[in-house]
């Protein structure tokens, strides 16, 4: 579902496609259709994207941290707005070592997101060379009071002038919300970063699956039926969602298909339940 808030990168990677801002979904003149959609289904579709965004942003922050510290092995502060008050500490060598992205007791970015704790990554091989591997863990890390836990294994599959591909496996994913509710998440996905002629990230392409338990206690499994695509040009127009792709969310015998559109830069998403009823929603931000 189009519920992932996107921010531009400030470094050579140029574009943060997935951020931890919370997104709410509101109906778009479809009141006659909504009775076929339970509140739980709507929450499932919305919360799925929110939970995904917290973990995906960890990858983005690590990549920004690696890029910022490549020229200097040691401690320094990044110029990226999300890391403006964080400390980056790089140890070891470019071939093997660690990176700590530390937000301390509280670091608020210009968009008002408060992060605490640290993201810690160890790597084998140069971080941006095919065949290298990273292991990302969260050390008492939270975003806006929501605590994130788990281990994220990243394998760099290929790197060319125009496209970088990564295999990502999340195990032990756990999110504790400010109200004490807990969600779990396991992910196996492929991410492709497609760059333009200026070597700036132009499109993010995601395939794969996820499973776990939402904070409302509903177990789920997710499959991306058609690759999810985020476009830089649409972000610059204020579109904060994927522009195309289809995702299937299953809970027991219930199914919900989330259609992100045909590539048009807009903020609308179409949901279809197992009964074939369809409703369109407009995606809006809420911090």
Q: What is the dihedral of CA 102, 106, 108, 113, to 10 degrees?
A: 90
Which runs of E-coded beta strand occur in the chain? 23-27, 75-76, 87-92, 96-102, 107-108, 114-124, 133-143, 146-159, 163-176, 182-195, 201-213, 219-231, 244-251, 254-262, 268-273, 278-285
Tell me the C-alpha distance between 216 and 55, whole Å.
Answer: 19
Give the pLDDT score at 73: 63
Determine the average pLDDT of the residues in 238-245.
Answer: 81
Residue 9 in this model has a pLDDT that exceeds 60: no
Residue 5: pLDDT over 70: no
Backbone phi and psi for residue 132, each to the nearest 5 degrees, phi listed first: -75, 155
Q: Any idea what the Cα angle at residue 236 is, between residues 116 and 67, rounded to 5°?
A: 50
286 vs 95 pLDDT, higher one: 95
Contact 190, 163 (CB under 8 A): no
Reported as a pLDDT band with limits 50, 70 and 90, residue 14 is very low
Cβ-based neighbour number of residue 112 at 10 Å: 9
Quote the pLDDT of residue 104.
96
- Point out the least confidently predicted range of 32-41, 149-158, 167-176, 253-262: 32-41
Are 1 and 271 in contact by the 8 Å Cβ rule? The answer is: yes
**In the numeric block, which tokens belong to residue 265?**
């830069």
Average pLDDT over residues 127-153: 96
Whether the per-residue pLDDT at 25 is higher than 60: the answer is: no
pLDDT score of 112 more than 90: no
Q: Is the pTM of this model over 0.95?
A: no
Q: What is the predicted pLDDT for the residue at 164? A: 93
Instruction: Encode burial over 141-156: b for 16+ CB neighbours within 10 A, e otherwise.
Output: bbbbebbbbbebebbb
Q: Which residue has the tokens 């968009």?
A: 111
Span 9-17, mean pLDDT? 40
What pLDDT does residue 229 have? 92
Quickly state the pLDDT bin for 198 (edges 50, 70, 90): low
Task: Using the predicted structure, report yes or no on whether residue 77 has a pLDDT greater than 60.
Answer: no
DSSP state of 37: S
């Amino acid at each position: 579902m189009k519920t992932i808030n996107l921010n531009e990168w400030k470094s050579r990677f140029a574009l943060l496609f997935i951020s931890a801002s919370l997104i709410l979904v509101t109906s778009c003149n479809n009141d006659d259709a909504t009775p076929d959609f339970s509140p739980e289904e709507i929450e499932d579709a919305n919360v799925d994207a929110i939970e995904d965004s917290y973990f995906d942003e960890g990858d983005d922050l690590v990549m920004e941290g690696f890029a910022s510290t490549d020229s200097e092995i040691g401690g320094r502060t990044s110029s990226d707005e999300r890391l403006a008050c964080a400390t980056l500490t790089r140890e070891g060598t470019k071939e093997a070592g660690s990176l700590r992205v530390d937000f301390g007791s509280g670091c608020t970015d210009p968009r008002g997101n408060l992060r605490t704790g640290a993201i810690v990554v160890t790597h084998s091989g140069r971080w941006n060379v095919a065949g290298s591997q990273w292991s990302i863990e969260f050390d008492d890390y939270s975003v806006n009071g929501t605590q994130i836990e788990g281990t994220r294994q990243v394998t760099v599959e290929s790197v060319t002038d125009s496209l970088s591909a990564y295999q990502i496996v999340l195990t032990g994913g756990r999110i504790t919300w400010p109200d004490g509710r807990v969600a779990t998440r396991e992910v196996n996905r492929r991410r492709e970063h497609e760059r333009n002629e200026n070597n700036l990230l132009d499109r993010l392409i995601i395939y794969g699956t996820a499973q776990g338990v939402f904070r409302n206690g509903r177990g789920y499994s997710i499959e991306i039926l058609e690759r999810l695509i985020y476009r830089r040009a649409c972000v610059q127009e204020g579109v904060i969602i994927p522009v195309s792709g289809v995702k299937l969310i299953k809970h027991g015998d219930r199914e919900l298909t989330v259609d992100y559109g045909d590539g048009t830069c807009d903020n609308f998403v179409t949901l279809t339940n197992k009964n074939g009823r369809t409703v369109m929603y407009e995606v809006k931000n809420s911090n």
